[in-house]
Homo-oligomer: A and B are copies of this chain.
Amino acid sequence: MGVERGHTSREFERELKSLRERLLAMAGRAERQIERAIEAVIKRNEFFAGQVIADDARIDQDEVEIDELVALILARRQPVASDLRFLMLALKIVTDLERIGDLAVNIAKREKDLSRFDPLPTYDRIELLAEKVRNALRAALDAFVNGDADKAEQVIKGDREIDTLNMHVIADVISMGAEKPQDIIRSLALSSVSRYLERIGDHSTNIAEMVIYFVRGRDVRHKGPAVT
């Protein structure tokens, strides 16, 4: 019986490992989608934009497959305690990753509006914002994989920087729009891009908060005020 249980346990471990890898692969894809969407906007590259829009289907499929994998493991292994919590966490994280994919598509779709106009000097800051957002996503997933609550806390702290940078970009863009009201489409498109990046940052923060909650087994998701 001991052997039997040891065997089952090893199989179960393998399933959890596979789940972890699937989530990491999905997160990697989401990160590349953000990168390419921003490149499409900055380099005015219609082809990249089209690729991001087309490749979203793969991330959507990831969500469906990972949900199925979790359902399978829950039904087959009937886990309790920390294994159960880990699977619940996976279900929640996969939803955030899929929505990050949607936001990358939203960014890519703004390429069309923006390529009609001269680029604005805010592009450097948009690139910086995108880099911070991608780093936060990677750190949040690292925290998840390693059960690292401290790293997750850094992600949450870093989100303030992302929010501030986004607000500065939008304020600049709007005031430039105010000088030349005919460029309103460009202003709106560029503030949308910045805002989508900020929302991706929020998703990473949400992932980080859930990691802390599930790692420490107590609620730190709602210590501070809501994200503004």
Q: A residues bordering B, Cβ < 8 Å?
A: 53, 56-57, 60-61, 63-64, 67, 70-71, 74-75, 78, 80-81, 84-85, 88, 91-92, 95, 99, 101-103, 105-106, 109, 170-171, 174-175, 177-178, 181, 184, 187-188, 195, 199, 206, 219, 221-222, 225-228
Contact = CB atoms under 8 A, between A and B. Distances in A.
A206 B102 CA distance: 12
A57 to B, nearest CB: 7
A96 to B, nearest CB: 8
Contact of A177 (B80, B88, B92, B174): B174
Nearest to A178: B181
Interface class of chain A by DSSP: helix
Given A101-B226, A170-B188, A199-B199, 13 more contacts: A60-B219, A63-B221, A64-B221, A75-B81, A91-B91, A92-B95, A102-B226, A103-B226, A171-B184, A174-B184, A174-B188, A178-B178, A178-B184
Q: Which of A75, A171, A178 has the most CB of B within 10 A?
A: A178
Given A174-B177, A178-B178, A222-B57, A71 B84 contact: yes
A199 B228 CA distance: 13
Nearest to A78: B78
A149 to B, nearest CB: 17
Nearest to A182: B178
Contacts of A75: 80-81, 84
Contacts of A92: 91-92, 95
Contacts of A101: 226
A11 B130 CA distance: 50
A48 to B, nearest CB: 16
B105 A225 contact: yes
Contacts of A74: 74, 84, 88
A78 B77 CA distance: 9
Nearest to A64: B219
Contact of A88 (B67, B178, B206): B67
Nearest to A199: B199
